[in-house]
């Protein structure tokens, strides 16, 4: 499957330091198929105009393409188009919820529940909200396998939090959290739930109705789409009662010198000229993934993940973070070799991995580490890619005399 898929991604034909590019950094940003590049190019070459504001042909075509993109993204996660807000990325989506729903509904002493495995983008906005509103934060810990402590989670829920936020797949451990059950329990406690689906949106089928969450965010660039575009799903009844995040431009219904009124959702939360090309490219990424089907994509990525775990364990001195029950990525450290040196030597072999704290400093601190190496997988990766990674890691040991 992946060998044929790889032909659709132009960048994978290039060489790095004279070697075939082995791209294993998709958890940071994925590569883009030709169809996504073509979709963005077609917008700029054939219908480049602003949306929602013109009656001429180009504007009408651009508006139709933009709103059709919203419909495709909505269908992809089983929501309604009016519940999809286009953002620059998941970070903006989380900030939107914290600055609107959070500021309007939290008061001093209210509790926000998070987990220690969150990306910084799903920690810092809630820290800011807590500081501004006098709210409290509680973090669900992990056990020795890198799995969330569900008993501690239940103990926090007994304190009746107002907001609960968690990732569906950890961007460091690859842990697939039981988001449906966690959402149900949070709702039983009276909390509103936000799910970070950045690492899951391109690896698993997402159904927001089945999960039952109130908000869900993801970024297009992690699911074969363009940078600078993402989406926030929000239940319509919540969105309708939330104040706007940014004001001006297309989110306005009427403006006088003394007051303004807001447009309907989702337009109320899309101030100014949107990233039309990005939305169209994101829709093309959805089309591409659905060509194969998310079940097949998930099966391929899980097979690669399991294979990587088996092969990496053959490398002497390697320590893998988390449990074997994961999908999409493997983070590890090598005895006697700093992570950045590992990544640099791998780059000499044409292998692109991520080194550092992966925007998850609290989780690394919890694990007693400052940084790690992360190899992450996508639809275009093969077992041969992992074999190259393992050979390069063995070379790392030779370079360091191990």
Q: 3-state SS string over 211-260?
A: HCCCEEEEEHHHCCCCCCCEEEEECHHHHHHCCCCCCCHHHEEEECCCCE
Helix-helix angle 339-348:383-399, to 10 degrees: 120
DSSP 282-317: HHHHHHHHHHH-HHHHHHHHHHHHHHHHHHHTTSTT
Cβ-count burial 61-75 (b if 16+ within 10 Å, e if not): bbbebbeebbebbbe
CB burial class (10 A; 0-12, 13-18, 19+) of residue 32? buried
CB burial class (10 A; 0-12, 13-18, 19+) of residue 225? buried
Spell out the residues 6+ positions from residue 55 whose beta carbon is closer than 8 angstroms to its own: none
Helix (H) or strand (E) holding 63: helix 57-76
Q: Cα(140)–Cα(149) distance, rounded to whole angstroms?
A: 6
The reply to whether 396 belongs to the active site is: no
Q: What is the largest CA-CA distance in the chain?
A: 73
Q: Which of 198, 213, 359, 396 is catalytic?
A: 359
Return the bridge partners of 302, or none: none
Record the tokens describing residue 205, joined without a space.
């089928």
Return the bridge partners of 48, or none: none
For residue 356, report the phi and psi dihedrals to the nearest 5 degrees.
135, -155
Q: Cα(266)–Cα(239) distance, rounded to whole angstroms?
A: 8
- Answer yes or no: are the C-beta atoms of 344 and 400 closer than 8 Å: no
Q: Cα(98)–Cα(217) distance, rounded to whole angstroms?
A: 13
Catalytic site positions: 359
């Amino acid at each position: 499957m992946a060998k044929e898929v790889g032909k659709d991604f132009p960048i994978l034909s290039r060489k790095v330091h004279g070697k075939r590019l082995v791209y294993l950094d998709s958890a940071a940003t994925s590569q883009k198929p030709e169809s996504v590049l073509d979709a963005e190019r077609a917008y700029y070459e054939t219908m480049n105009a602003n949306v929602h504001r013109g009656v001429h042909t180009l504007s009408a075509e651009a508006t139709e393409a933009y709103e059709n993109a919203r419909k495709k993204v909505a269908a992809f996660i089983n929501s309604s188009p009016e519940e999809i807000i286009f953002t620059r990325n998941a970070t903006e989506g989380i900030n939107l919820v914290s600055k609107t729903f959070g500021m309007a509904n939290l008061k001093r002493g209210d509790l926000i529940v998070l987990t220690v495995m969150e990306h910084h983008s799903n920690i810092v906005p809630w820290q800011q909200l807590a500081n501004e509103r006098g709210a409290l934060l509680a973090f669900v810990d992990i056990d020795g396998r890198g799995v969330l402590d569900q008993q501690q989670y239940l103990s926090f829920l007994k304190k009746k939090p107002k907001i609960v936020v968690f990732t569906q797949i950890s961007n460091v451990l690859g842990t697939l959290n039981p988001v449906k059950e966690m959402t149900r329990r949070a709702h039983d406690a009276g909390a509103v739930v936000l799910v970070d689906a950045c690492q899951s949106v391109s690896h698993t089928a997402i159904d927001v109705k089945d999960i039952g969450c109130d908000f869900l965010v993801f970024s297009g660039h992690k699911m074969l789409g363009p940078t600078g575009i993402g989406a926030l799903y929000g239940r319509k009844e919540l969105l309708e009662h939330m104040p706007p995040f940014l004001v001006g431009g297309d989110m306005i219904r009427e403006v006088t010198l003394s007051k303004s009124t807001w447009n309907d959702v989702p337009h109320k939360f899309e101030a100014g000229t949107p990233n039309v090309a990005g939305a169209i490219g994101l829709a093309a990424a959805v089309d591409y993934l659905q060509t194969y089907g998310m079940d097949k994509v998930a099966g391929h990525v899980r097979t690669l993940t399991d294979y990587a775990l088996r092969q990496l364990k053959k490398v002497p001195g390697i320590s893998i973070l988390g449990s074997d029950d994961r999908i999409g990525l493997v983070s590890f450290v090598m005895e006697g070799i700093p992570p950045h040196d590992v990544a640099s030597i791998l780059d000499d072999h044409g292998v692109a991995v991520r080194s550092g704290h992966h925007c998850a400093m609290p989780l690394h601190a919890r694990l007693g580490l400052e940084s790690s190496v992360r190899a992450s997988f996508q639809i275009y990766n093969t077992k041969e890619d992992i074999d190259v990674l393992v050979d390069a890691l063995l070379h790392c040991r030779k370079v360091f005399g191990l």
